[in-house]
């Protein structure tokens, strides 16, 4: 039997599951396992962010989730704060929340050609900033931090939210068998690692033979390093992921 595992965080997987049901997939075949939930840290790095903003640092916000947690904890940043985002969805979230007087810096294009690498290229083209604070969860955006640091930028990381890994219960795991053909939607390398660890060695062959849909070449590379052979990178701005999954499941 074919099973679809949806690991996109937040409510996104639930919404995709509902649309897949409408497209004709059985509810029993749809497993909503969001890789992470989010929460406020015990001690968020608000002082790092405030000090950076006061010194004119560019605040790089890594996701719409990070933007929301930032606003919830620091709604009154200086009006002239310069924000940057790793993609257009995050930029739009910042604009909606803060209504900044300076345009948000972000790379255009799909997720696969935006992200950290493209944002760094944008910085290079416009002139590297003197200071940057990367507003993020506990991990992530290591490439951007290292690339900026190597070029002499004063860069720091500020944890504004925590990712809490999804705990796969015995009852949830019982919904899938090692003999099932899997279709998996995964949107981060951490989610890949967490899924493989959660299902364990008994599902190793099933996971290697699964059909994966993802949004970035780094995630695809991680999957291939684990032995996955069927990996599709889709453009979230142009491709209909529901149609892609439904077509593979049919």
Q: Tokens standing for 171?
A: 């009852």
The full set of domain ranges for the chain reads 57-162
Phi, psi of 36 (to 5 degrees): -145, 150
CATH class of residue range 57-162: alpha beta
Instruction: Report the distance separating Cα 120 and Cα 44, nearest Å.
Output: 25
CB 141 within 8 A of CB 115: no
Q: Would you state the pLDDT for residue 111?
A: 52
CB 134 within 8 A of CB 141: yes
Q: Would you state the pLDDT for residue 11?
A: 83
Instruction: Report the distance separating Cα 143 and Cα 129, nearest Å.
Output: 16
Could you list the pLDDT tens digit for every one of the 250 residues in the chain?
A: 799 999 998 788 999 999 999 999 999 999 999 988 899 998 889 999 999 999 999 999 998 899 999 999 999 999 999 999 988 889 999 999 999 999 999 987 655 445 788 899 999 999 999 999 999 987 766 788 999 999 999 999 999 999 888 888 999 999 999 999 999 999 888 899 999 999 999 999 999 999 999 988 889 999 999 999 999 998 877 789 999 999 999 8
How far is C-alpha 140 from the geometric centre of its chain's CA atoms?
9
The 10 Å CB-count burial string (b at 16+, else e) for 142-156 is eebbebbeeeebebb
pTM over 0.85: no
Q: What is the CA radius of gyration of the chain?
A: 19
Instruction: Report the distance separating Cα 70 and Cα 223, nearest Å.
Output: 31
Q: Would you state the pLDDT for residue 113?
A: 43
Please report which helix (H) or strand (E) contains residue 83, including its range: strand 82-85
- Find all residues with CB under 8 Å of 144, minimum gap 6, and list them: 60, 86, 116, 119, 120, 134
Please report which helix (H) or strand (E) contains residue 64, including its range: helix 64-73
Instruction: Report the distance separating Cα 63 and Cα 46, nearest Å.
Output: 17
Q: Would you state the pLDDT for residue 112?
A: 44
Q: Tokens standing for 201?
A: 């060695």
Instruction: Report the distance separating Cα 224 and Cα 215, nearest Å.
Output: 14
Give the single-character DSSP code of 203: G
Candidates 129, 120, 124, 121; CA nearest to 102 is: 129
Q: Would you state the pLDDT for residue 238?
A: 77
Q: Tokens standing for 12?
A: 């996104």
């Amino acid at each position: 039997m074919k099973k679809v595992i949806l690991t996109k965080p937040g409510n996104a997987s639930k919404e995709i599951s509902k649309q897949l049901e409408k497209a004709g997939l059985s509810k029993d075949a749809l497993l909503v396992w969001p890789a992470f939930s989010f929460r406020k840290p015990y001690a968020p790095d608000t002082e790092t962010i405030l000090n950076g903003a006061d010194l004119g640092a560019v605040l790089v916000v890594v996701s719409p989730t990070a933007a929301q947690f930032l606003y919830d904890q620091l709604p009154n940043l200086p009006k002239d704060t310069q924000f940057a985002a790793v993609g257009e969805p995050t930029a739009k979230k910042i604009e909606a929340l803060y209504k900044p007087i300076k345009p948000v810096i972000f790379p255009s294009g799909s997720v696969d050609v935006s992200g950290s690498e493209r944002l760094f290229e944008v910085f290079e083209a416009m002139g590297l900033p003197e200071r940057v604070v990367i507003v993020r969860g506990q991990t992530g955006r290591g490439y951007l931090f290292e690339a900026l640091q190597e070029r002499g930028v004063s860069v720091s990381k500020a944890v504004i939210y925590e990712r809490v890994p999804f705990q796969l219960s015995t009852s949830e795991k019982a919904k899938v068998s090692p003999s099932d053909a899997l279709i998996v939607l995964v949107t981060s390398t951490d989610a890949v690692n967490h899924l493989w660890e959660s299902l364990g060695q008994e599902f190793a062959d099933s996971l290697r033979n699964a059909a994966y849909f993802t949004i970035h070449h780094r995630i695809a590379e991680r999957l291939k390093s684990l032995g996955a052979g069927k990996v599709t990178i889709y453009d979230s701005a142009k491709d209909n992921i529901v149609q892609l999954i439904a077509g593979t499941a049919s």
